[in-house]
Structure 1
Amino acid sequence: MTEREIVADLPLCLPDGRLDPDAVGWSRVPLHDTSGIGRGLRGLGRNKRWEYWAIVTADHVVALTTSALDYAALHQVWVLDRATGEEVDAVAIAPLNRSATLPGRLGAGPVRSRTRPVAIAVDEGPGGTRLRARTPRVDLDVTVSRPAGRELLGVVVPWSDRRFQYTVKDVGRPATGRLRLDGVEHPVATGAWAVLDHGRGRWPYRAAWQWGVGFGRGVDADGAGHEVALQLGGTWTRAGATTENGVLVDGRLHKLHDELDWTFDRRAYTAPWRVRGERLDLAFVPAHDRVSRTQLGVVASSTHQCFGTWSGWVTTDAGVRLDVDGLDGWAEDVAQRW
C-alpha cells in the first residue's frame, strides 16, 4: 500500500460537506480542519466526533470520553485500580450534542462535557494539555506535557466521499498531576503517560475495529535503549486507502503502511493476543478485561478492552530492529451499531 504524507494545512471536507480527496493521507502533526463535520444536514445521524484521553500510571488507568454522535452526546469517566481490578465508572448520555463542546481542529479550542454526573474539561496551554474531570467519586487534574519535536499519527481513512474518518493518535506523552478517588488522593507522577484518540468523521451504521497501544523501552542490536510507543489498528481500515499503524521511536513516527494480522480468541479475551505485520511481530498478554455492552434498540455496542503488556520486535523506517519486552498498554476489540 502506498500512502501519501500530508505536510500542509487543509480542510477535511469540501464546501458541500463531502470528503475532500486531497485530505486523504497521514501526517506527523495535526493538519486537518474538520469543522465541516456536524455542520448543516450533510450526513445527519452519521457524524461522529469525540475526544478520548487515557492516563496510565503504575496503579491506575483513567479514561475520559467526550463525544457527540448527532442524536446523542456520551460522556464518561472510567478508572481502573490495577491492583484490585476494581472499576469505577460514570456515564452520562444526553440528547443531541448540546452538552458537548468539541473544536473543529485539534487544539483549536476547549473540550467540554457538561452534565451533572460527568464534567470534563480539556484545555491546551503553552507546554501541554490540562485534563480535568469530576464525578461523584472521581476528581482528576492532570497536565500532559508536549515534548518539543515529538510527533504523532494523524490519518484520514476513506470508505467513500460520504463516509470517512479523521483520527489523531498521540501515544506516550508524559503526565503529572493528581487523581482523587473516593476522597483518597493518588499522585500522577513521573513515569505516568497519556494517550489521545481524537476522532472526527461520518461512519457507516455498522463498524468494528481493533486498537492496540503500548509504551516503554526497546533495545537495538547494539544494546542501546530507546523510547518506544506503539499505535496499532485493525479491521476498520481494510476497505480504505490508509492504515492507522505506526511506531514512535524516541518521539519520531515510523509509519507502517501494511494492514496488520490480529489473532485473538473472542471466547477467551484474557488469553494471549498476537499482532503481526511486515515490520513487527508482537505478543500481548492481558491482565484485565474491561467489558462494556450497550443494547438500546437499533444502537448497540460491545467492547473488550484488555490491559496488559506487549513484547516482541518492531523495525524502523531505516530497518533497525528493536526488541521490546513488557511495554505497558492495551488491546481492544469493538463492534458498533450506531
Structure 2
Amino acid sequence: MIERELRQRVPLVGADGVFNPAAHGWARQPIVDTSGIDGRRSWGRNKRWEYWCITTPTHLLALTVSSLDFAAVHEVWVFDRVTGESIGRGATGIGARSATLPANLEGGPARARVGALSIDIEEVPGGTRVRAAIPDAAFDVIAEHPAGHERLAVVVPWNRKRFQYTVKDVARPATGTVTVRGAVSEVPAGESWAVLDHGRGRWPHDVRWNWGAGSGRLDNGRVIGIQVGGQWTDSTGSTENSVLLGTRLHKISEQLVWDYDTADYLRPWRISGGGFDAEFVPFYDKRSRTNLGLLSSSTDQCFGHWSGTFDSGEETVRFDDVLGWAEDVHNRW
C-alpha cells in the first residue's frame, strides 16, 4: 500500500463541510485541522474524543472525554495490578454540554463534568496534564512530550461523508500520583507511560475495529512504542500501524494479520505484517457490553505484554515484555 505523508497543515473538511481529499494521508505530527468537526454545520454523525491510558508498575489508569453529538460519553477507570481490583465509573450526558473539547489537538483544554465524575486535560510546559476523579479513585499525571517525539496522525476515509482523523501518541513518559480511597501511590518516572487516542470524524453507524498499543524500552534502554490497528481501515487506502523507536516514527503501510480467540480473549494473540511480528499475552480483559437497540457496544480491551521483532528496513529490533493492550470492538453508535 502506498500512503501519502502529509507535510503541511491541511483542513479535514472543506468549506462545504464534506471531506477534503487533500487530507487523505498520514503525518508525524497532528497537522490536520479538525475545526470543521464542531457539531454545528453537520450534526448527528460527528464523533469527537480524547482517550488517555497510563500504565505504571502498580496501576492501569484510563479516561475518556467524548461527544457523539446526541450524547457525551465519559469514563474514568483505575485498575490495581497487584490486587486485581477495578474501580471505574461511566457517565452519559444528553447532548454535548457535559464535554469541552478543543477544535484541534492541544488547541485548548478538554473537560468533562457529570455528577461525581470529573476530567481535566490541559497542556502544560513540557507535556500534558491529565487529571480525573470519581468516588474512591483519582489520578493526576503529567504525560511528558520529549523533544523531537513523533506521533502517528492518520486520516481514514470511507467516503466523502464518512471519515476519521486519529492521532495515536504512544510512549509518552509519565509521572504523577494515583489515589485510591485516600491511599496515594506514585506514578514513577522511568517506569510509567501515557498513550493518547485523539479522534475527530464522522463515522458509519456500524463499525468494528482492533487497536493495540504498547510502551516501554528495549534491552539497550531505547524507547519503543507499538501502535497497531485493524478492521476499520480495511479498503480505505490507510493504516494506523507504526512503531516508535526512540523519538522516530516508522510507518507500516500494510494491513496486519490479527489472530486471536474470540471465545477466550485471554489466550495469546498474534499480530504480524509489514516487518512487525509479535505475540501479545494478556493478563486482564476489561470487558464491557451495552445493548440499547440501535445503540450497542461490545468491547474486550485486554491488557498484557508484547514480545517480538520489528524490521524497520534499516534495522531489526527485538522487544520483550512491553506493557500495553490489544482490543476487539464492535460499535453501533
TM-score normalised per structure 2? 0.98
Cα offsets for 1:214-265 (capped at 9, x unmatched) = 122335xxxx553211000010000211100000001100000000000000
Distance 1:194 1:121 in 2: 15
Unmatched tracts of structure 1, length 5 or more: none
Cα distance between partner residues in 1 of 2:14 and 2:149: 30
Confirm or deny that 1:115 pairs with 2:110: no
| Distance in 1 separating the partners of 2:125 and 2:242 | 26
The residue type paired with residue 242 of structure 1 is S
Instruction: Tell me the secondary structure at the aligned position of residue 19 of structure 1.
Output: coil
Count the aligned residue pairs. 332
**C-alpha distance in structure 1 between counterparts of 2:99 and 2:203, whole Å:** 19
1:332 aligns with 2:327: yes
- CA offsets, 1:140-160, max 9 Å, x none? 211111100010000000000
SS at match of 2:222: strand
TM-aligned CA deviation for residue 290 of structure 1: 0.7
| Deviation of 1:297 (Å) | 2.0
Q: Determine whether 1:260 maps to 2:259.
A: no
Corresponding residue for 1:131?
A: 130
Query: Does 2:93 align with 1:98?
Result: no
8 Å contact kept, 2:29–2:151 = yes
Q: How does 1:162-173 map to 2 (within 5 A)?
A: 162-173=161-172
Tell me which residue corresponds to 2:8: 8
AA at the equivalent of 2:332: R
How much has 1:85 moved relative to structure 2? Answer: 1.8
Maintained 8 Å contact 1:91/1:117: no
Q: Whole-Å Cα distance in 2 between the matches of residues 132 and 279 of structure 1? A: 37
Question: Take 2:323 and 2:199, find their aligned partners in 1: how far apart are those partners?
Answer: 23
SS in structure 2 at match of 1:22: helix
Separation in 2 of the partners of 1:239 and 1:207?
14
Q: What residue is the counterpart of 1:238 in the other structure?
A: 234
The corresponding residue for 1:81 is 80
Indicate yes or no: 2:320 matched with 1:321.
Answer: no
Contact 1:168/1:197 (CA < 8 Å) preserved in 2? yes
Distance 2:40 2:181 in 1: 42
Unmatched runs of 5 consecutive residues or more in structure 2: none
Q: Is contact 1:168-1:198 (8 Å) kept?
A: yes
Q: For residue 267 of structure 2, give the secondary structure of its aligned residue in structure 1.
A: coil
Distance (Å, rounded) in 2 between the aligned partners of 1:88 and 1:65: 15
Determine helix, strand or coil for the equivalent of 2:218. Answer: strand
Q: Helix, strand or coil: the match of 1:331?
A: strand
SS, match of residue 22 in structure 2: helix
Partner of 1:270: 266
Give the match for residue 155 of structure 2: 156
Alignment of 1:181-220 (within 5 A): 181-190=180-189, 191-218=191-218
- Asked if structure 1 preserves the Cα contact closer than 8 Å seen for 2:116 and 2:134, the reply is yes
Determine what percentage of the aligned residue pairs are the same residue: 51
CA RMSD of aligned residues (A): 1.1
Determine the C-alpha separation between the residues in 2 that align with 1:39 and 1:55.
29
Could you tell me how far apart the structure 2 residues matched to 1:205 and 1:213 are?
Answer: 25
Q: Displacement of 1:182 after TM fit?
A: 1.1
Name the aligned partner's letter for residue 331 of structure 2.
Q
Residue type matched to 1:329 in 2?
G
